[in-house]
Amino acid sequence: MATSRTSKKRTAAFAKDLLDVATMPRPQIDALLRLATALKMKLRRGISHSLLEGKTLGLLFQKPSTRTRVSFEAGMNQLGGHAMVLPMADIQLSRGESVADTARVLSRYLDGIVIRTYDHGIVQEWAEEATMPVINGLTDLSHPCQALSDLMTIKEKKGRFKGVKLAYIGDGNNVANSLIEAAAKVGMHIALGCPVGYQPDQHVVDRARVEAARNGSDIEVGVDPQIAVKDADVLYTDVWISMGREREQARRLRTLAPYQLNGRLLQKAKPDAIVMHCLPAHRGEEITAEVLDGPQSVIIDQAENRLHMQKAILVQLLTQKKGRA
């Protein structure tokens, strides 16, 4: 009986929505990592795991997507449920219906929704108004599903988080913000080398440093990529021109050119360092083909783990009771 009560308390403490990593309790992250690994093994062994039979997931994307959309759609299908794409042009949001009205109505139809948009405030508003779980599929501020999947990959490749150094090089974008939050949660050291004007969100850094201090890790934000990658176990980069930043292309390419992840930079890291990139990649810009396709790259394993982590997120959130009437 005591075990049952503890389990119920732990489940109740889990966040109803997944908006960012910072607001997730550590036990929820640990549970997701265990569940994602278990689901990965079930899939590889051909073991049925229809844990969401009869459930329907909505996908509302204002930004293009490959890995996020396909991993959620395929994952929902593998779990026995159904995924429904909701193109913005085809629903009344595009004609001025409020988020509040849409969220309340869709909560009566769907068991959860993934939203991929620009303004982080949009997913926050959805979470406030919806009774179903709201999952942030990416905003300009954060990409929590990517960071959680990356934790899974790092744990698989390095076997631990404590004592691991993750170096992030280039544009301090939404992925960088979420990696900072994730590293702080699990006690992993993270060092960033980003040019002035392209550094991660300061509020994210300040909040994460409090968490990191509690967990015995550190967050370093600097401008020198060679310092960031020194003795790193994991090297990570992302595109220099994120969606919505296309008009800044020429300036970004000039400013970020010294931050390319190439063979010379890789040599500054530990000999067994792994290379990560959330994709899509632009070979010859933020990373060379030599490094991206080289023996230390784990990008395909990393991309695969999006599927398994997405499935874990869906099982964890969509099997909870709806939070508000």
The per-residue pLDDT for range 150-197, each reduced to its tens digit, is: 999 999 999 999 999 999 999 999 999 999 999 999 999 999 999 999
The active-site residue out of 17, 260, 278, 316 is 278
Residue 322: predicted pLDDT: 55
Q: What is the average per-residue pLDDT within 188-209?
A: 98
Please give the share of the chain, as a percent, with pLDDT higher than 90: 89
d(CA 257, CA 274): 22
Domain that holds residue 292: 146-303
Residue 278: active-site member: yes
Q: What is the pLDDT of residues 25-44, one digit of tens each?
A: 999 999 999 999 999 999 99
Mean pLDDT of 60-78: 96
Q: Are residues 76 and 221 in the same domain?
A: no
Residue 62, domain CATH: 3.40.50.1370
Find all residues with CB under 8 Å of 69, minimum gap 6, and list them: 59, 61, 85, 116, 137
Is residue 13 in a domain?
no
Domain count along the chain:
2
Q: Are residues 198 and 77 in the same domain?
A: no
279 falls within a domain: yes
Q: What confidence category does residue 71 fall into, taking pLDDT thresholds of 50, 70 and 90?
A: very high
In the residue annotation, 116 being an active-site residue is answered as yes
Q: 116: which strand partners?
A: 61, 138
> Is there a binding annotation on residue 104?
no
Token pair, residue 246, equals 């296309």
194 is catalytic: no
143 is in an annotated binding site: yes
> Are residues 32 and 103 both part of a single domain?
yes
- What confidence score (pLDDT) does residue 6 get? 36
Instruction: Indicate whether 325 belongs to any domain.
Output: no
Which tens digit of pLDDT belongs to each residue from 274-289? 999 999 999 999 999 9
67 is in an annotated binding site: yes
Both 235 and 275 in a single domain?
A: yes
Catalytic residue check, 306: yes
Instruction: Summarize the confidence of residues 239-256 as an average pLDDT.
Output: 88
Active site residue 202: no
Mean pLDDT across 237-261: 91
Q: Are residues 298 and 312 in the same domain?
A: no
11 within domain boundaries? no
What pLDDT band is residue 325 in, cutting at 50, 70 and 90? very low
- Closest CA relative to residue 230, chosen from 257, 192, 259: 192
**74 pLDDT band (50/70/90 cuts)?**
very high
pTM of the full predicted structure? 0.94
pLDDT at 226 over 90: yes
Indicate if 252 and 314 belong to the same structural domain.
no
Annotation says 282 is catalytic: no
Active-site annotation holder among 116, 120, 277, 308: 116
Q: Does residue 260 have a known ligand-binding role?
A: no
* Distance between CA atoms of residues 24 and 16, nearest Å: 10
**Pick the catalytic residue: 28, 146, 310, 316?**
146
Task: Tell me, yes or no, whether 175 and 220 share the same domain.
Answer: yes
Burial-class residue 162 by CB neighbours within 10 Å (0-12, 13-18, 19+): exposed
Residue 116 counted as an annotated binding residue: yes
Tell me: do 289 and 207 sit in the same domain. yes
What single letter denotes the amino acid at residue 277?
H
Other residues' Cβ atoms within 10 Å of the Cβ of residue 102? 19
The response to whether 306 counts as a known ligand-binding position is yes
Encode burial over 258-268: b for 16+ CB neighbours within 10 A, e otherwise: ebbbbeebbeb
Q: What is the mean pLDDT of residues 110-139?
A: 97
Distance separating alpha carbons of residues 310 and 77, to the nearest angstrom: 12
Domain assignment present for 163 = yes
Name the catalytic one among 238, 252, 277, 302: 238
- Is residue 2 included in any domain, yes or no? no
Is 178 annotated in some ligand binding site?
no
Q: Any binding-site annotation on 243? A: yes
Kindly indicate the confidence band of residue 248, based on its pLDDT and cuts at 50, 70 and 90.
Answer: confident
CA 289 – CA 283 distance, rounded (Å)? 5
142 known ligand binder: no
Mean pLDDT of the chain: 94
Q: Which of 82, 84, 75, 14 shows the shortest CA–CA distance to 49?
A: 75
Average pLDDT over residues 114-124: 96
Q: What is the pLDDT of residues 3-20, one digit of tens each?
A: 333 334 344 469 999 999
Q: Say whether both 212 and 278 belong to one domain.
A: yes
Mean pLDDT (whole number) for 292-308: 98
Q: Based on the domain organization, do 125 and 197 belong to the same domain?
A: no
Q: Is residue 127 over pLDDT 90?
A: yes
Let me know whether 199 and 261 are in one domain. Answer: yes
Candidates 69, 120, 143, 277; catalytic one:
143
For the record, the structure tokens of 320 come out as 């909870």
